[in-house]
Amino acid sequence: MNFTQRLRQNDLLLGTMLTLPSPELAEMISSCGYDWLFMDGEHGNLSTLDWQRMLQAVAGRSAAIIRVATNSEREIKKILDIGADGIIAPQVNTADEARHVVACCKYPPQGIRGVGLARAQGYGRNFADYMKTANVSIAVIIQAEHIDAVNNIEEIVEVDGIDAVFIGPYDLSASMGLIGQVDHPEVVEAIDRVGRACQQRDISLGYFGTTAESVQAYASKGYHLICAGTDAGFVLGGAQQTLDKLRE
């Protein structure tokens, strides 16, 4: 059973975030047994070729889901063509924006994704098989990370083709004038509103935290797409811990 099938049946999927242009780090972290990797193409400076090298290093050990830099047709097409298992679309604030993202991920007649030959299609060798399965196997995950998305969430979740909604707590708090205050009651209520809307539509919910402890409450609430920690955080944390022990 692939990642998208597991996502649609609400399995608990545990992941972490990759932000650094290092195939070696991606290879090491994927060998740990994470269900999925949140590859952040929105904030980093990685190129499409960098992401392809990362995907090759992961080699299918973990599902590779790339957050695209923009929700443009061109950007989404390129990321899917290099072989990502799905995308995370940032800053989806309306139902129309959600419909656009879904359409960009689907080949006609369900969508508008352009047809090309690249790594995802085996450079042509697996073209026919890929075309038969891509529309159902690619994970389409949108982010609710702005108060506008919260205010429109009941309409957003009615859009066909959304596999999960991923909360962006830090950007959400910033859009509410409460930057970084992810535990503020108003931010928590906004997140809970998204949660209620998704659960009513049986759409999986995702949440990111910098530590395992920060996401446990959301896993206990029924969130299924959990992401904790970052590659940079692991390196910094391990290095600092070792130095601190040496200084004792």
Maximum distance among all Cα pairs of the chain, rounded to whole angstroms: 64
DSSP state of 32: T
Q: Please state, in angstroms and rounded to a whole number, the distance separating the CA atoms of residues 147 and 101.
A: 19
Q: What is the DSSP string of 51-65?
A: HHHHHHHHTTSSEEE
Quote the pLDDT of residue 127. 96
Q: Which residues contact 144 (CB under 8 A, 6 or more apart)?
A: 92, 150, 153, 156, 165, 166, 167, 168, 172, 194
Interval 85-123: pLDDT, tens = 999 999 999 999 999 999 999 999 999 999 999 999 999
Q: What is the mean pLDDT of residues 71-92?
A: 98
User: What residue has token string 């269900």?
Assistant: 35
Quote the pLDDT of residue 76. 98
Interval 194-219: pLDDT, tens = 999 999 999 999 999 999 999 999 99
- pLDDT of 173 higher than 90: yes
Q: Please state, in angstroms and rounded to a whole number, the distance separating the CA atoms of residues 129 and 120.
A: 11
Quote the pLDDT of residue 196. 96
43 is catalytic: yes
Quote the pLDDT of residue 1. 87
pTM of the model: 0.95
Quote the pLDDT of residue 20. 95
- Average pLDDT score over the chain: 96
DSSP state of 68: P
Residue of 43, 100, 146, 224 with catalytic role: 43
Q: What percent of the chain has pLDDT over 90?
A: 97
- pLDDT of 45 higher than 90: no
Quote the pLDDT of residue 248. 92
Q: Please state, in angstroms and rounded to a whole number, the distance separating the CA atoms of residues 211 and 248.
A: 25
Q: Which residues contact 247 (CB under 8 A, 6 or more apart)?
A: none
